[in-house]
Chain A
Amino acid sequence: MMDKKLKLDIYKKIILSRRLEERIAELIKAGQVGGFMHPGVGQEALQVAAIATLRPDDYMMYAHRGVAYWVARGIPIERVLCDLSGREGGTNRGKGGVMHVVFPELGVLGESGTLGGCFPIAAGAGMSIKVKHEDKVVLCFFGDGTSNRGTFHESLNFCAVRKLPVIFLCENNGWAVSVPTEQSTSVKDIADRRHGYGVPGKTIDGNDVEQVYDAVSEAVAYARAGKGPSLIEGKTYRLWGHWIGDPDTYRSREEVEKHWRRDPLPIYENKLIEEKLLSEAAKAEIDKDARAQIDRAIAFMEKQPFMKPETALEDLYA
């Protein structure tokens, strides 16, 4: 069950993520940073609430979309901005950019640039936990399109037969770049694929913080108890284009507008107001605080020097 502090903490992280992406989009459009960024606007509830179920020593593999994974896990945002802009102080020393933000101290194992490359790695982290008799878990995010990679099926089967503590969490946002899910995927609900592997799971509303928190908590407890993997699917929507600058010509404006009415941010905000956990004054304060944090992080980033070119030859071998 979520207490008041947790609910507000999730809200603050959603706000910070949303405001940060808005600022990053402004910076990219103004040519102030040159990064290639896949925005996660609209998917923050699923990402933040799921990560809130983890302990600091658990592992996670995130997917391509958005900053909320890092904000939720507590990676300093100025470091993410340095990764985006190729400056000193980032998490991957100019090698992986914003696509490969990493933070082993908090179990963030990095990201696979090839979609679906995350699944075997998550399985391997699960194997490691089991061999060392730990009770950690691995939370592995992925998109609906990625569930068509062979690695998804191989890894789900592998984790199921070895009872590895991996939570496969699908963010079904309806689109794989420009291809709608119904044109690429044989099932309506990705979570149905669990039946092929004999693992538990369910389809939930990925824009509903409490549903996400409850479902992922259940899967985490199941994994921690040594019972094996789960497959959860949260239905959500990618409110912006595939990347910042995407002309987004492949979707109807009606469809996008319909989903803006399901934007998880105001939905959650109104819920907290109804529950009297949030006042208009507190809301304004949280928003102001998020903007101030981002201003400080951007100021930090701008003072950082760009990575030295010769760094390109470092970090290959241990």
Chain B
Amino acid sequence: MRTITYAQGIKEALEEEMRRDPTVVLYGEDVANFGGIFRITSGLQEEFGAERVFDTPISENAFVGAAVGAAITGLRPVVELQFADFLFTTADEIVLKAGMWRYVHGGAFKVPMVVRCPSGAAGVGPEHGQCPEAFFMHSPGLRIVSPATPADAKGLLKSAIRDDNPVLYFEHKLLYATKGEIPDDEDYLVPLGKAAIRREGDALTLVAISAMVPKAMKVAERLAQEGHNIEVIDPRSLNPFDRPAIIESVKKTGKIVVAEESYKTLGVGAEIGAMLMEEVLEYLDRPLRRVAMPDVPIPTAAALEKFVIPNEEKIYQACRELLS
């Protein structure tokens, strides 16, 4: 086992996949010379050359749409959007082109592309701080992943690059510096669509997404000290979504809290709630609780941002309420 950071996991995945497969190209704003605004891609242009790693104009529609064109003609493009929020700028290219080009043309193409989307509130304001995964869960044809650990950051990105479908890869800005262990296996892959059970328990199911995972783990420790052994599930992939993992856990615990940084209305928790109503309502002995962003844009001032972002205390309180 080695210890790496989340950012390093992303970089290693890019390096390894680009070495392995000459059709993988990487591009976006400031990724080449500067190494990306979060400095994930520094040095890659030196190794792989200016044809495979390059800077783009500020033209998200053109370069994200170009990934679709490149993918259907034999490349595996990885595009970096500086902020996940820019997905909205390029919604036609993401939703209608990447997601649907294969379908509308009767399966004539594969669309193997990855869009890297730095997400999450980090004092950067309403248009640079969202977690818009749920918006894109609503769009057919896209794969969506949201790694929470360094090992998953690497293993999921490698799987995403090898996948023959368009993948939105949400990397949370506040996780870049987090450290974690990664298996020594040189070709470590994490399959899309498989949830991770971060902690086993039978008192309550706590589903945590992306940056909520470390917070959820702390809540679980605190509750354990209080005598409640809760189960923490990190879905990792939001499409495909590991429904059985959550259903099985709820059958065991009868209680569930979902913690996410998406807006509450029609967020990931809403889908999980609906799924449980349809599948296992009889197993629930308390109502579902969601800890999510209130439906307001993310404010910039630290005190305001802190007020709206789900934190350990809010997750803890939601769990306590169900455990009482």
Q: How far is the CB of B148 from chain A (nearest CB, A)?
A: 24
Contact A151 B97 (CB under 8 A): no
Q: How far is the CB of A28 from chain B (nearest CB, A)?
A: 21
Q: Decide yes or no whether B105 CB sits under 8 A from chain A.
A: yes
Contact A120 B93 (CB under 8 A): yes
Chain A CB within 10 A, most for which of B64, B72, B104: B104
Taken together as a complex, chains A and B put the C-alpha atoms of A96 and B101 apart, in Å, by: 10
Enumerate chain A residues within 8 angstroms of B61, measured Cβ to Cβ: 120, 150-151, 154
Q: Decide yes or no whether B66 CB sits under 8 A from chain A.
A: yes
Q: Nearest CB to that of A140 among chain B residues?
A: B69
Contact with B along A71-95 (1 / 0, CB 8 A): 0000000000000000000111111
Enumerate chain A residues within 8 angstroms of B140, measured Cβ to Cβ: 316
Q: Which of A102-110, A173-181, A185-193 contacts B (4 or more CB under 8 A)?
A: A102-110
Contact A112 B57 (CB under 8 A): no
Contact B72 A125 (CB under 8 A): yes
Enumerate chain B residues within 8 angstroms of A293, measured Cβ to Cβ: none
Chain A CB within 10 A, most for which of B64, B70, B71: B70
Contact B102 A109 (CB under 8 A): no
Q: Decide yes or no whether B208 CB sits under 8 A from chain A.
A: no
Taken together as a complex, chains A and B put the C-alpha atoms of A300 and B287 apart, in Å, by: 59
Q: How far is the CB of B321 from chain A (nearest CB, A)?
A: 39
Partner of A122, one of B64, B69, B96, B108: B69
Q: How far is the CB of B180 from chain A (nearest CB, A)?
A: 30
Q: Decide yes or no whether A254 CB sits under 8 A from chain B.
A: no
Known contacts: A131-B52, A158-B57. The answer to whether A120 contacts B104 by CB under 8 A is no
Taken together as a complex, chains A and B put the C-alpha atoms of A109 and B69 apart, in Å, by: 8
Taken together as a complex, chains A and B put the C-alpha atoms of A104 and B64 apart, in Å, by: 21
Partner of B66, one of A93, A109, A114, A158: A158
Taken together as a complex, chains A and B put the C-alpha atoms of A132 and B111 apart, in Å, by: 17
Contact with B along A24-65 (1 / 0, CB 8 A): 000000000000000000000000000000000001000000
Q: Decide yes or no whether A199 CB sits under 8 A from chain B.
A: no
Taken together as a complex, chains A and B put the C-alpha atoms of A150 and B104 apart, in Å, by: 23
Q: Decide yes or no whether A280 CB sits under 8 A from chain B.
A: no
Q: Decide yes or no whether A127 CB sits under 8 A from chain B.
A: yes
Q: How far is the CB of B47 from chain A (nearest CB, A)?
A: 16
Residues of B in contact (CB 8 Å), total 45
Q: Decide yes or no whether A226 CB sits under 8 A from chain B.
A: no
Contact with B along A228-257 (1 / 0, CB 8 A): 000000000000000000000000000000
Known contacts: A104-B109, A151-B65. The answer to whether A317 contacts B165 by CB under 8 A is yes
Contact A110 B70 (CB under 8 A): no
Enumerate chain A residues within 8 angstroms of B65, measured Cβ to Cβ: 117, 119-121, 123-124, 151, 155
Q: How far is the CB of B25 from chain A (nearest CB, A)?
A: 6
Contact with A along B63-98 (1 / 0, CB 8 A): 111111111111101000000000000001100110
Contact A109 B73 (CB under 8 A): yes
Q: Nearest CB to that of A130 among chain B residues?
A: B51
Q: Decide yes or no whether B62 CB sits under 8 A from chain A.
A: yes
Partner of A316, one of B68, B75, B102: B102
Contact A110 B63 (CB under 8 A): no
Q: Nearest CB to that of B56 among chain A residues?
A: A158
Contact A128 B104 (CB under 8 A): no
Contact A92 B104 (CB under 8 A): yes
Contact A124 B59 (CB under 8 A): no
Q: Decide yes or no whether B183 CB sits under 8 A from chain A.
A: no
Partner of A129, one of B63, B73, B101, B111: B73
Enumerate chain A residues within 8 angstroms of B75, measured Cβ to Cβ: 127-128, 131-132
Q: Nearest CB to that of B143 among chain A residues?
A: A317
Q: List 29 A-B contacts (CB under 8 A).
A: A93-B106, A95-B106, A104-B109, A109-B69, A114-B92, A114-B96, A117-B97, A120-B63, A120-B64, A120-B65, A120-B97, A121-B66, A123-B65, A124-B67, A124-B68, A124-B72, A125-B69, A128-B70, A128-B75, A131-B25, A132-B74, A132-B75, A151-B65, A151-B92, A157-B57, A316-B103, A317-B165, A318-B111, A318-B164
